[in-house]
Structure 1
Amino acid sequence: MNMQGLEASPKASRLHIGLFGRRNAGKSSLLNALAGQPAAIVSPVPGSTTDPVEKTMEMAPLGPVVLIDTAGVDDEGQLGRQRAERSLRALRDVDVALLITEGNSWSDFERRLLRLLADEGIPFAVVRTKCDLHDAASLAERPGDLPGNILVADVSTVTGEGLAALRELLVRLAPGAQDTPPPLLHDLLPENGLVLFIVPVDSGAPKGRLILPQAQCLRDCLDGRKLALTATEKEIAPALAALSRRPDLAVCDSQVVHVAARELPPSQPLTTFSLLMARARGNLTQLAQGAAALSHLRPGDVVELREACSHHPQKDDIGRVKLPRLLAKIAGGPVTTRMLAGKNAESDDDPRPKLVIHCGACTLTRRQMLRRQHDARARGIPMTNYGMAISYAQGVLERVLSPFPDALQAFGEALKKERESVSSFSKLKRSSL
């Protein structure tokens, strides 16, 4: 077991910094210089970088970050154009970007990147590399069409000149407090609040450790100076009996939500790890609205299942086995599910899905999850997540949404609209017969 990996900050909690520019502009050399090690291949041969390269590290004074090196946007040939397009897709995954140029080089490629970064609302700066090879007079001039409010840094990966200043500049570019995601759960609890975690230990549980959402929620309680008790779904009654007061909140794995809802008193506030992750990583209210589409799922409908990571499916995999089974229960017959796993999986509207259901997104940043929600809305397709779909199938979604009044209200209103729409369609169909 890799203890370093267990002790490190999860990727989803790190600032993602993307390096973009033309081939041989010095992107890989800059990544290596910032990382302090040869993480990316450096070569005078154009096109050495193919797929985006990620380097996880601690960078003072920023803290935990992920540096993403990309292929040149001016790559040529059929394969080169594919590499360039993948680089541009990586724009959607970064919190901050560096537009890399060699000296004062400035062309349509840089102008296109500048427009894309501005359109995406990504904080960025222009970094002019190899400043040791250019005289100060030439670097004193900015390209005429480069807006004056764009930050510019000059660096040399050979001499180290400008690297310290670039790190300070990245601090200025980093998203502010207004963009910080909410805590996972400690803000839902009073002072000295108590939470009961209900964690199943079955064949799907990793040996010797908790899964990421469970571990992160426990750490969030410690950060917020809250109290926590952890038990399996089979020890709920003994856990409650061991306490001198009722928990302020119970949090369970979605797969045992029906057990938790049955074993806990109706007055006990209850939610799931999946909903807590949805609030921290994306827009919980919009996902609750999307869950209302489950109410008119019918046999044969297409449902797009999305997972942030790629993992080896188990025999009773949630997304590939359990969820399709529950969707069939909701629809009254089998539905057609289409699984898209990994960061670069492309959605397909042929045939058009009735609904998108996303995993808990524990490996995505907030920006990455919000982007996926935005893409679903742009396609005109409602989107919810695994935990909400499971809770809906078990008849307890409104209960697990109750700690989040805005999301509960959004679900109720969307559900009412869905039912009114179905009723209107049925009346219209009967009148046409």
Structure 2
Amino acid sequence: MEKTPNSNRVTISIFGNRNAGKSSLLNAIANQEVSIVSDVKGTTTDPVKKAMELIPAGPVLFIDTAGIDDEGNLGNLRIKKSFQILRRTDIALYIIDGLDEDDKNLENIETESKYYDIPLLKVVNKTDLLDEESIVKLKDKYPDAIFISTKNENDIELLKAKLIALIQSIDEDKPIVGDMLKPDSNVILVIPIDKLAPKGRIILPQVQTLRDLLDHGIKSFVVRNTELENALKDIKKVDLVITDSQVFKEVDEIVPKNIPLTSFSILFARQKGELNEFVKGVRAIEKLNQNSRVLIAENCTHNTNHEDIGRKKIPDLIRQKTFSDIQFDFKSGYDFEENLSDYDLIIHCGGCMVNRREILSRIRLAKQANVPITNYGITMAYLTGILDRSIELFKERV
């Protein structure tokens, strides 16, 4: 549980005004001092994360955010960051200061939560400082809220129980590939070892796919692209080949047409996003010209070189296909939502470092800006002329 990637944890974010008790609540839930607590307003300036296990729900990620009533230029930036956190949240907690209510900010969070279809749990804090009459009035005003004092252990346990029930009511992520094959099937994973492969490791999407296959009782054979041809001769029955997108074309030429073929990135497009939307979005490449702008969006940040798929290979292939010197812009991390309407196409990474909620919110933002969106794997399959083959496996399951 401790080593579960944050992208695979249920994200529970804590919102509210300054000094409502957000940091105190996180500390009480974690039973340790995760966030700094102070009487001074605005102590929490950047999101504070705490990964933990919430038994029996499993691994979760709590995020303590800056107060959404912050002030000034810096305060506005902190508020913006808090709303960015909301976008990738599975469950939102809104902490209401029982001594100082502010329904305006609560309404803003409620509106955004409904837009992104995020469960919102209201928590009225500081009951230890309220008299009975005040508590009765607040319960009439917030009938669906939980009333707590962060100093009361029983209150914290009741809140945890409510969170566990909410987590268990949320649909689990789809399997990556295990639901599409019978147990005891044979799958070959093609993993090229190049300059971008971390020394001594394979990258997260490959690790997660391998684990998913193991969980579903599917036999896995891991090879480099240079050993693929021999592997196909050695293994009598191959039910699926999954390849890294960078060697898509090479692998397509090696794998017989009667064997299904797809990529890690396309698997994640289905698991974390909307595969149909990405497939529809990639067709926008046909309309690109020298006046077009394309956004390449990545969730993680890393060093790049001449083999980088997002910053080098995809732009080069698109320019070759369209015979146009198209402008490409690049954004990493959570810097995404601004000026989307300026683009003719968004090409997103596989999203292995973030949860499904974040990818779905980005798709929603792209739709709102009326900009087509796709991802790396779909794009590489399209540009190499093997899109139809690479999504054949999913036609009845997307």
Q: If the length of structure 2 is used for normalisation, what is the TM-score? A: 0.94
Kept after mapping to 2: 8 A contact 1:285/1:406? no
- The size of the alignment, in residue pairs, is 397
2:10 match: 15
Whether the 8 Å CA contact 2:337–2:365 is kept in 1: the answer is no
Q: State the secondary structure of the residue aligned to 1:403.
A: helix
Structure 1: gaps spanning 5 or more residues: 409-433
Deviation of the 1:343 alpha carbon: 1.3
Q: Which stretches in structure 2 are left out of the alignment for 5+ residues?
A: none
What residue in structure 2 maps to residue 342 of structure 1? 333
SS in 1 for 2:280: helix
Map of 1:424 onto structure 2 = none
Q: Check 1:199–1:102 CA distance in 2 against 1; reply closer, same or farther (3 A cut).
A: same
Pairing 1:28-43 to 2, within 5 Å after superposition = 28-43=23-38
Structure 1 residue ranges, 4+ long, deviating more than 6 angstroms after superposition? none
State the shift of 1:354 in Å. 1.5
In structure 1, what is the Cα distance between the partners aligned to 2:155 and 2:167? 18
Pairing 1:168-247 to 2, within 5 Å after superposition: 168-174=161-167, 176=169, 179-243=171-235, 245-247=236-238
Query: How far apart, in 2, do the equivalents of 1:217 and 1:158 lie?
Result: 43
What do the CA deviations read for 1:115-174 (whole angstroms, capped 9, x no partner)? Answer: 43334322122112232223345324335543x4x2x22333334231111111002222
Question: After the TM superposition, which residues 34-73 of structure 1 pair with which residues of structure 2 at under 5 Å, given as runs?
Answer: 34-73=29-68
Which SS does the other structure have where 2:329 is aligned? strand
Paired residues of 1:123 and 1:174 also in contact (CA < 8 A): no
Q: 1:119 to 1:394 in 2, by over 3 A?
A: closer
Aligned to 2:268: 277
Taking the aligned partners of 2:380 and 2:11, their CA distance within structure 1 comes to: 31
Deviations 1:333-385 (A, max 9, x none): 331101111113343257x2221100001112111101111111111111111
- Offset at residue 303 of structure 1 (A): 0.8
TM-score, reference length from structure 1? 0.87
Query: For residue 334 of structure 2, what is the amino acid of its counterpart?
Result: K
Change (3 A) 1:370 1:349: closer
Q: Is the 1:288–1:407 Cα contact (8 Å) retained in structure 2? A: no
**What SS does the aligned partner of 1:285 have?**
helix
Aligned to 2:353: 363
In 1, the alpha carbon distance for the partners of 2:114 and 2:395 equals: 35
CA distance, structure 2, for counterparts of residue 390 and residue 404 of structure 1: 17
Which AA in structure 1 matches 2:238?
A: P
Q: CA RMSD in A?
A: 2.0
Q: Deviations over 1:197-225 (max 9, x none)?
A: 00001111111111010000000011111
The residue type paired with residue 285 of structure 2 is L
How far the C-alpha of 1:230 sits from its partner, in A, is: 0.6
Residue 251 of structure 1 aligns to a residue whose secondary structure is: strand
Equivalent residue for 2:157?
164
Residues 64 and 327 of structure 1, relative CA distance in 2, 3 Å threshold: same
Q: 1:90 is paired with a residue of what secondary structure?
A: helix
Check the 8 A contact 1:104/1:143 in 2, yes or no: no
Which residue identity lines up with residue 3 of structure 2 in the other structure?
A: A
- What percentage of residue pairs aligned between the two structures are identical? 37
